[in-house]
């Protein structure tokens, strides 16, 4: 019982933060391209908050995998694989999540080569994907 209460708290706290981060990203998505590409506060904030959003999904997914005993997780890319194997995610959702993890890795590790146009595109066209994955994780959490 103790582990589940911790997991519930983890989900609640991370979900609140995820919603805060998505609200910030929604605001940044309204920035016109010219201002976005030339304003380090805009593109830097977008990079950081997109990174945090993906990391929250990774953490939530890892907690689900552990709680359900779905196998080991050595790297975050293992999380969507485990959830797909357990039929929590569709193949498309698992692929999308792996691409998001790759994007996060570029932002974190290859920060000198981050393409602002790609960040802007993610900001403008992929926030719904982040929300969709979050909903799937919340629904699975509630089932367990």
Express each pLDDT in 79-101 by its tens digit. 999 999 999 999 999 999 999 99
| Domain regions of the chain by residue span | 2-143
Kindly report, residue by residue over 9-34, the tens digit of the pLDDT: 888 999 999 999 999 999 999 999 99
CATH architecture of 2-143: Up-down Bundle (1.20)
CB 79 within 8 A of CB 41: no
Instruction: Let me know the angle formed at the C-alpha of 130 by 117 and 24, rounded to the nearest 5 degrees.
Output: 70
Which run of H or of E encompasses 4? helix 2-29
- Return the closest-CA partner of residue 126 out of 44, 20, 36, 25: 25
* pLDDT at residue 6 is higher than 60: no
Confidence band for 110, pLDDT divided at 50, 70 and 90:
confident
Q: Say what the pTM is.
A: 0.91
């Amino acid at each position: 019982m103790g582990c589940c209460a911790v997991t519930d708290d983890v989900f609640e706290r991370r979900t609140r933060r995820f919603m805060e981060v998505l609200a910030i990203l929604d605001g940044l998505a309204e920035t016109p391209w010219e201002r976005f590409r030339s304003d380090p506060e805009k593109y830097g904030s977008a990079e950081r908050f997109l990174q945090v959003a993906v990391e929250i999904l990774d953490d939530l997914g890892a907690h689900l995998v552990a709680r359900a005993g779905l196998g080991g997780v050595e790297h975050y890319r293992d999380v969507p694989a485990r959830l797909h194997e357990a039929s929590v995610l569709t193949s498309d959702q698992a692929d999308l999540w792996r691409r998001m993890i790759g994007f996060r890795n570029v932002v974190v590790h290859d920060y000198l080569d981050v393409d602002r146009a790609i960040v802007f595109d993610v900001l403008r066209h992929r926030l719904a994907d982040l929300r969709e994955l979050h909903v799937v994780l919340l629904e699975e959490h509630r089932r367990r």
